Amino acid sequence: MRKELHQRIDQLYQEMVDIRRYLHQHPELSFKEEKTAKYIADFYDDLGIPYQTKVGGNGVIATLKGGKPGKTVALRADFDALPIQDEKDVPYKSKVDGVMHACGHDGHTATLLSLAKALLSFQDELPGTVVFLHQHAEEYAPGGAKPIVESGALNHVDAVFGTHLWATTPLGVMQTSKDVFMAGADRFDITIQGKGGHGGYPHETNDAIIIGAEVITQLQKIISRRIDPLQTAVLTIGIFEAGNAFNIIADKAKLVGTMRYLDTRIQDQVIEEMERIINGVCVANGATYKLNYEKGYPPLINHAEEAELVLLASKNVPEITTREEVVPVMGGEDFGYYLLEKPGTYFFTGAQKEGNEYPHHHPKFDIDERALPIAAKTLMEAYLAYQEK
């Protein structure tokens, strides 16, 4: 059956590409994916595979029960886009101003839909049950995975697997980890209240811009001087808003940033250090502040046994020439919520497009679409391998 399934997936290649390109032209932002969810539901309607909609929000979950006894395995694909203007010069460029599939979720969806169609052709021979988990809102915390877990929709699932088309990894390479694979990702904003005034009379003010700059500089010392150098964390300020005229000293500044970590003990330490530093700088400068810290996605920690299973199963995919265990990446991914509840693993499918080596979340992001069937085959092999445990 494996050989026939591979052949069926290859036969569906053009349909995968068509689905991916349609979704690429019609992206929707996190928590606003109503049309995309309907597109997915309509696809399962046409196949005759039962499904649920509005799972944890805009999630869609379809279920295919095989003809033979076995375990229940979920395969996940996300389907939200990003608030980025598409700058690619391609026929399938986004038609929605300021919104773009800049992370490959359109490809994830095309992969899983086509895999469902392929598996349906062999339903009677399939062991166990396949759960096709189409998740909304991966890009924006609190995300879609957490409410899907909280809905109880996966209570009956034995394991969960997922893949990310990885645009900076060459085609034919599969990467994963038997431990921490992706970072926890938090968000924070800091509002500093100083005292504004005339640009020519700084002694009568408490300059919020100067205070904000000092806060930024001091916060970086958390990473360089307070965290064990054998541990890992990233603290980035992405937004610094202050002032509205060249000759007015700003009374207020707002800093917005993210913190990435691999160990929750480091997360706690950084939060404590941030509060101490911000308070100290503001007290020293006669200013006040407000820190709003939002804990986001947890670290994505693969289960070692399931990661090994995927590494071995990928050997059945001839297009995969290299399989690697890699160090964690500092990007966040709410698939980690599933792995807190169920055994499973997450892996990268190399999708680097020749001549277009832009990273994820870039206005010119694109993928090599030949990675779509590779991702489908690897998910299929993971599913079958788990049934054989």
Rounded distance between C-alpha atoms, residue 78 and residue 164, angstroms: 9
Binding residues: 103, 105, 139, 164, 361
**Can you list the domains of the chain with their CATH numbers?**
2-182+299-387 (3.40.630.10), 184-297 (3.30.70.360)
pLDDT of residue 226: 95
Cβ–Cβ under 8 Å, residues 290 and 224: no
The pTM of this model reads 0.95
Question: What are the structure tokens assigned to 45, written together?
Answer: 């309607």
**First-residue to last-residue Cα distance in the chain:** 18
pLDDT of residue 308: 98
Cis peptide bond prior to 142, omega within 30° of 0: yes
Instruction: Name the active-site residue from 28, 78, 80, 319.
Output: 80
Give tens-digit pLDDT for 168-223: 999 999 999 999 999 999 999 999 999 999 999 999 999 999 999 999 999 999 99
The series of mean pLDDT values per 10 residues for the chain, 389 residues long, is 96 98 98 98 98 98 98 98 98 98 98 98 98 98 97 98 98 98 98 97 97 98 95 96 97 98 97 98 98 97 98 98 97 97 98 94 98 98 97
**80 is known as an active-site residue:** yes
Instruction: Name the active-site residue from 106, 138, 334, 368.
Output: 138
**272 is known as an active-site residue:** no
pLDDT of residue 357: 85
DSSP characters for 335-350? THHHHHHS-EEEEEEE
Binding residues for Mn(2+): 103, 105, 139, 164, 361
